[in-house]
Amino acid sequence: MTKQIKERTFYILFSVFSYIVFAVFICVVLALLIMIPLTVEGGPEQFFRQITCWFDPVFYQYNLLLLLLAVLLTPALTLSYVYSMKDEKKRRLSLELPHKVWNDEKEKDKIIAYVNKTFHISHFIGSMSVLSLIVMLGCMVMLLLKPVPLKSLISDSALCGVDYRQGVNFLMLGPYMNLFIDGNEEFLRKLSVTLTAFQYGFLGAYIYYLTHLVRSYFILDLTPNTFVESSIRMTMGSILSLVCSFFFMGSDQLTTILPAISFFIGFFPSRGLLLLENLLVTSLKSTGALLSQNLYNSLSMSTVPGMSFAHEIRMQREGYDTVENLALADPVDLSIRTGFSYGQLRNWISQAQLIQHLREDYQKFVNATGISSTDDLTAFVKNWEKTHPGEDPCDELAKALNGELVHKIRVLCAIES
């Protein structure tokens, strides 16, 4: 008992220390941001006083609270997960893993050591810090960087905010940069479109991250990969939305629904890449350009029964992005590293093995025989040989398929036997 208390005390102290390091990291970043207004007349105090005048005081405080909530949600849930879910993970593994694995003291010690390692705050601190920084910067663009109105529309005394004309660049304007160079203020409208796309792309990725974070918390699948993947998603979704916005510049109707399009791209960056590819192919075809198409002779994970889009994304983070990869996976290892149960993983892997052998004939085979995995096939063959000695189970399977796939069935039975 004393040893457990010491370990718990050390665990809490180390977690607090790690959180302090994370807070210092954020403070350093903010300090670097503070260095920017040193060139402003009056110094940082005058600079931040000007910022507070950008919004109504209540509205400004409200935006700050939203910013803090968005940034602190990640470390708060991570700390809660580390402290409260470790024992639950061990309990589930003890129930789900095969008895021969859990009852093996050597294997059990390895599993518990791995769980203890993954449920430690030091395991999350790096990826969590990077994600929190990205969330902070993205939310600042959305909530705090208010654009300054044109002087022609408002009195000089009321001018306040960020003058985006001074920070315009090729990333935000692209081919419309010539409008800025020529002094045509039409570039501001183009800039507002690209900024809107960028912000709503980030918002879509952030909302996806929140739903994924909560889901990972309750299914015991919160890992540093969750934060790394979300950081990439937010960056990728924002940039993709920005790039796609250039296709919609010429249409007022499409520009009106651009926030919805950008939000969708941020929520599903892979679909955004597909949209960008289709737009590009259509555009190049209209100019007479020829494109070569690469075809990959692999099977999508979506062909595995019960594999949803969220499941597919999670398995991809573990390196399994095709049926061929999944067919070689270890269900025990994956059940420890992910929130999926051993039984579910064993079933997916067994189905992937059968799909890998039958390929385009898989669904026909399942519909005719009711066998959807190699485990089912092995059980059928053993049971048939036991109840029908001397009879070939392959003939029975071929009969169910009206004589089709005879050679495939015989090869498959030989492999599985």
Could you read off the pLDDT of 226-265 as tens digits, one per residue? 999 999 999 999 999 998 888 888 777 778 888 998 999 9
Length of the chain as a residue count: 417
Mean pLDDT of 60-78: 87
Query: Does any domain span residue 323?
Result: yes
Q: Residue 17 has what pLDDT? A: 60
The pLDDT-based confidence of 23 (bands split at 50, 70, 90) is low
Q: Residue 302 has what pLDDT? A: 84
User: Pick the residue with more confidence: 46 or 154?
Assistant: 46
Q: Residue 152 has what pLDDT? A: 46
Query: Does any domain span residue 399?
Result: yes
Q: Residue 345 has what pLDDT? A: 92
Query: Does any domain span residue 394?
Result: yes
Average pLDDT score, the chain? 80
Query: Does any domain span residue 359?
Result: yes
Please tell me the least confidently modeled range out of 10-14, 91-95, 390-394.
10-14
Query: Does any domain span residue 408?
Result: yes
Mean pLDDT of 108-118: 89
The pLDDT-based confidence of 153 (bands split at 50, 70, 90) is very low
Domain span at residue 373? 301-416
Query: Does any domain span residue 56?
Result: no
Q: Residue 25 has what pLDDT? A: 61
Q: How many domains does the chain have?
A: 1
Query: Does any domain span residue 179?
Result: no
Please tell me the least confidently modeled range out of 12-21, 81-90, 322-331.
12-21
pLDDT at 368 over 70: yes
User: Pick the residue with more confidence: 145 or 52?
Assistant: 145
User: Pick the residue with more confidence: 327 or 271?
Assistant: 327
User: Pick the residue with more confidence: 272 or 241?
Assistant: 241
User: Pick the residue with more confidence: 75 or 162?
Assistant: 75
Q: Residue 21 has what pLDDT? A: 60
User: Pick the residue with more confidence: 91 or 154?
Assistant: 91
- Which pTM value belongs to this model? 0.77
Q: How many CB atoms lie within 10 A of CB 376?
A: 17
> CB within 8 A of 395, min separation 6: which ones?
none
Please tell me the least confidently modeled range out of 73-77, 146-150, 200-204, 294-298.
294-298
The CB-side HSE value for 205 (13 A sphere, CA atoms) comes to 34
Mean pLDDT of 111-130: 87
Q: Is 353 exposed, middle or buried (0-12, 13-18, 19+ CB in 10 A)?
A: buried
Query: Does any domain span residue 58?
Result: no
Amino acid occupying residue 136 = M
92 contacts 220 by C-beta, under 8 angstroms: yes
Return d(Cα 223, Cα 221) in angstroms, integer. Answer: 6
The pLDDT-based confidence of 203 (bands split at 50, 70, 90) is very high
DSSP class per residue in 195-246: HHHHHHHHHHHHHHHHHHHHHHHHTT---HHHHHHHHHHHHHHHHHHHHHHT
User: Pick the residue with more confidence: 7 or 372?
Assistant: 372
Q: What percent of the chain stands above pLDDT 90?
A: 13
pLDDT at 195 over 70: yes
Q: Residue 135 has what pLDDT? A: 92
Q: Residue 38 has what pLDDT? A: 55
Return d(Cα 311, Cα 186) in angstroms, integer. Answer: 45
pLDDT at 199 over 60: yes
